[in-house]
A and B are shown apart, each in its own frame.
Chain A
Amino acid sequence: MNTVIKVSNLTAGYDTGPVIWGVSFEIPEGVVAGIVGPNGAGKSTLLKVMVGMLKPHSGTVLFWNKQYDEVYKRIAYVPQKEEVDWTFPATVYDVVMMGRWVHRRLWGRITKTDRELVKQALETVEMWDYRHRQISRLSGGQQQRVFFARALAQDPDLFLLDEPFAGVDMKTEEKLLELLKNQASQGKTVVVVHHNLFTASEHFQWLVLLNMHVVSAGPPDSVLTPENIERAYGGHLPVLARLSQRLSSLKEKPTR
């Protein structure tokens, strides 16, 4: 398998000091990967460094063996819903078209292909009927789908999603996950920052368990061992007990 993301010895943080220390891991092509860890583990910091919003103190992040600056158009970043202003006067269609503006920049002409891609993206997330809807009048799950449609319209090879399942209902979560898996099966790579350890083993084919250091990275089975979880979550017993229960019940099922 080809490596899409290679993070080597990354230390990064803010003026007050590093948040993540000497982080190294790889993510292969064509998987839905989860970056999982407790609150304050540095997940968001890691993602910010990856997309070039924050300069690392040391270490490197490479995508397809290249710097982010060379390949950013192939990478679609989906921010947390709370980070944007949903009162902005725009329709669903306008927001998804932003995915095309990435390629056309500020003044390039919008072509028929662009419009076609926007339409396809909206149809994929089943939001085409809502295209004229003002974005402030969407539910949380719909907002998340519109965001994902924007990423699709960008036509990238790698998706980076920051907590896409936060504040959406179970059904939307499943639906979104299906969309992500679909992309992965087409050879695209999907990386999701996720806080819920319990659903992580079911959602992702590749896991990065983070708590300021990388505790472990790889397929869920090899990552979610009791020792690793104890190292990441600091031996939080109730968490451990519930998770090991969950894991043992999972192991009885045949692995996909």
Chain B
Amino acid sequence: MIIDLPIHILIALAFIGWFSGLMGAILLVHHRVLIGDVLSHSVLAGSAFVFLIFMDASFPMLIAGAFASTILSAILIEFIRTNTPLKDDVILGIVLAFMFALGISFLAVAQRIPDVDKAILNTLLLGEVSAILPNEVPYMVIASVIGSLFIWGFYRGWFFTGFDSVFGYTQHLPVGIIRKILLIITASGILLTAYISGVVLAVGLLIAPALIGRYFSTRLHTTLLIAGFSGSALAVLGGFISASIEGLSTGPLIVFSAGLIGLLTIMFSPHYGIILHKLRYQIFKWTRGMENILRAGYKLLEQKGNMSYAFTIEELKQTCDDPPPSWTLLLKVLEWKGFVQKKGTRWTFTSAGLEKARHLTRLHRLLELYLSEIVKIAPERVHSYAESLEHIITPEVEKRLYELLRDKQYDPHKKPVPWNGSG
């Protein structure tokens, strides 16, 4: 399949995508992504207004008009914020609705004017990268580079505006000015984003790369880098997809692919991903189940007074206080791991299994001792606490427990602590 995407469009997408990612990441760490949405919805009003006045739909004119209206929106937001007790969601909602309604009205009027080329106005709504002309690309590249330099240049500043502004104020850093610069960067940068993804969906191209950056890193500069690169990649990807399917606007495709990848990030990222988090929980549940089986087996053998006794699942069930999610499956896993052996309907411990079971029992009983003797919890209650703690003890804590309780022979329920092989 040959995809017809001219090189100048590719360049524009890569640069604007990069810049949008950076911008989105900075807005995200300031919890102000929605301001990007409001400003992008304001683009239409300015562009259409300029067209109505000058009857000129050339790129510089539209950009100038758009910039005027994003700046107006920014000023409006700040004005309402400082002069009323209204909360951000209300302010942003009002300004967005007002400016977008204004833009749509101007657009409707513009449609009725005959004999002037105004196709570009329509493409602003949903974005159409094929409308980008080669002579516009240098402006876009330069604007993206300047915008990115501003974002990197104020790297330290974002810590004082985003993380701890009070500290910044007390040390006479220009916190207020840096905040205004963020607004100006957004107001001008969003024009570029809106130009490729459309004014309605521009926020998608800010938020998706920013999420990827945020989810895959713990520091600001890596967040910015990842967001920038993913913005670039997502914009180019969307461009390719739209070029390969006839009659589809670019904007929705760029934002759709960005959104999809953003959602996948939320699901699968290593630190905060939902899926991995759930997976880790399941793994823990199963490990815990296996440990409980081993300990129940050990207790059973102790009762029988015979460490090579062959037990049935029924006998195990009666000994275990904290039943695992599945008996047969987990016993199979334990067999596969070489801890137990199946003989007909009965099971025995291998020597590795017995050692593991003894270790777990030792840990459990030492924890009971610790809880009753040092934390002074009543002996009848320590069992259930030890039951949950024994699965999450680290080797370091375990070592401390051994040192602390090394001369204890019996747990609070008078059961022997299996210190060594004799059990």
Contact = CB atoms under 8 A, between A and B. Distances in A.
Interface of A: 51-53, 69, 72-73, 75, 77, 79, 83-85, 88-91, 94-95, 98, 101-102, 105-107, 134, 150
B172 A94 contact: no
Contacts of B219: 89-91, 94
Contact of A101 (B31, B153, B156, B166): B156
Interface string B166-184: 1101111100000000000
Given A89-B217, A94-B220, A134-B218, A106 B163 contact: no
B416 interface: no
B78 interface: no
Nearest to B154: A106
Given A101-B156, A106-B156, A89 B218 contact: yes
Interface of B: 29, 31, 153-154, 156-157, 159-160, 162-164, 166-167, 169-173, 214, 217-220, 222-223
A79 B166 contact: yes
A78 to B, nearest CB: 8
B153 A107 contact: yes
A95 B163 contact: yes
A105 B159 CA distance: 12
A55 B91 CA distance: 28
A81 B56 CA distance: 54
Contacts of A52: 169-170, 172
Contacts of A84: 163-164, 166-167
A106 B166 contact: no
A88 B159 contact: yes
Given A77-B167, A88-B220, A91-B218, 4 more contacts: A52-B170, A79-B164, A84-B167, A101-B156
A94 B219 CA distance: 8
28 contacts: A52-B170, A53-B166, A53-B170, A69-B172, A72-B171, A75-B170, A77-B171, A79-B166, A79-B167, A84-B163, A85-B31, A88-B162, A89-B29, A89-B219, A89-B220, A89-B222, A90-B159, A90-B220, A91-B218, A91-B219, A94-B159, A95-B163, A98-B159, A98-B163, A98-B167, A102-B171, A105-B173, A134-B218
Contacts of A75: 170
Contacts of B157: 106
Contacts of B217: 89
B150 to A, nearest CB: 12
B209 to A, nearest CB: 14
A53 B176 CA distance: 12
A88 B29 CA distance: 6
Q: Which of B29, B163, B169, B214 has the most CB of A within 10 A?
A: B163
Nearest to A101: B156
B230 to A, nearest CB: 15
Nearest to B271: A134
A89 B214 contact: yes
A150 B157 CA distance: 16
Q: Which of B164, B217, B219, B220 has the most CB of A within 10 A?
A: B164
A73 B167 CA distance: 12
A249 B170 CA distance: 41
Contacts of A106: 153-154, 156-157, 173
A52 B217 CA distance: 35
Contacts of A77: 166-167, 170-171
A98 B164 CA distance: 10
A75 B172 CA distance: 12
A217 B172 CA distance: 30
B163 A90 contact: yes
Nearest to A95: B163
Nearest to B166: A79
Contacts of A79: 164, 166-167
Nearest to B217: A89
